[in-house]
Amino acid sequence: MHTFFAPDLAGPTYTLPEDESKHAVRVLRLGVGDEVELLDGRGGLYKAAVADANPKRCQLRITHHESVPPRSYFTHVAVAPTKNLDRMEWFVEKAVEIGVERISFLRCARSERRELKLERLEKIAISALKQSGQAWLPQLDELQDFGAFVAGVTPETTFIAHLEEGERTSLAQVAGAGPGCCVLIGPEGDFTPQEIALALAKGIQPVTLGASRLRTETAALAAVFTAHIGR
């Protein structure tokens, strides 16, 4: 069954945007009576039937609705985006497929990417949502300076994954212990000692993701997976 994203769905009918209408009618060749699935990204799962197969405004009639509650454990990853945006797109896609509630983007001292437009990443997230059948679309936050982000976190449920010497706890041991967690992932070259010190002074706990030195996007995905299986 074909799936469409309908964030503004309300009422017994829904009209697909023009680009989606054209795809549904001209490419997928959907006709009156054909069934589709709709996701609103807020826990709503819908079944619908094509009522008007117009390639400019394909109208759907809602036939069934169910609500999926939010997951009991909240996973939040804050990551410094890579210079090659394809690697961040890959991370967002896989993180949504596994199950993540929020992704924030950090501007760190060693960041190679200083600006970030979310439009493309949001489209990747929606595509992954439809593909994986997830009911909740993750929140994607604008790029923010590391210091400003750290100032606003809850330290008891926030962890920083860094490669500096010193005692660190395995994320697998602490993820899942509370209502959720936020994991900070640095850029290629890691967080600076000053950034690590700032996080530790805030009360953020240092963690490790394992013995291997991981790429930024791999580390971010490992954090999502570790938190997910720790629930």
Res 204: pLDDT: 96
pTM here is 0.92
Distance (Å, whole) CA 49 – CA 36:
6
pLDDT beyond 80 at 231: no
Name the domain boundary from 67, 96, 117. Answer: 67
Tell me, yes or no, whether 106 and 159 share the same domain: yes
Tell me, yes or no, whether 125 and 223 share the same domain: yes
Tell me, yes or no, whether 213 and 108 share the same domain: yes
Tell me, yes or no, whether 42 and 130 share the same domain: no
Tell me, yes or no, whether 195 and 115 share the same domain: yes
Tell me, yes or no, whether 82 and 169 share the same domain: yes
Beta bridge partners of 39: 5, 45
Across residues 28-40, what is the average pLDDT? 96
Query: How many angstroms from the chain centroid is the CA of residue 201?
Result: 28
Res 164: pLDDT: 81
Distance (Å, whole) CA 199 – CA 39:
38
Tell me, yes or no, whether 207 and 113 share the same domain: yes
Tell me, yes or no, whether 217 and 159 share the same domain: yes
Give the pLDDT confidence of 134-181 residue by residue, as tens digits.
899 999 999 999 999 999 999 999 999 998 887 888 998 888 777 889
Give the pLDDT confidence of 177-186 residue by residue, as tens digits.
778 899 999 9
User: Which residues constitute the domain of residue 87?
Assistant: 74-229
Sheet with strand 13-15: strands edge to edge: 3-5, 35-39, 44-52, 59-67, 13-15
Q: Residue 101 sits in a domain of what CATH number?
A: 3.40.1280.10
As for how many domains the chain has, the answer is: 2
Q: Residue 26 sits in a domain of what CATH number?
A: 2.40.240.20
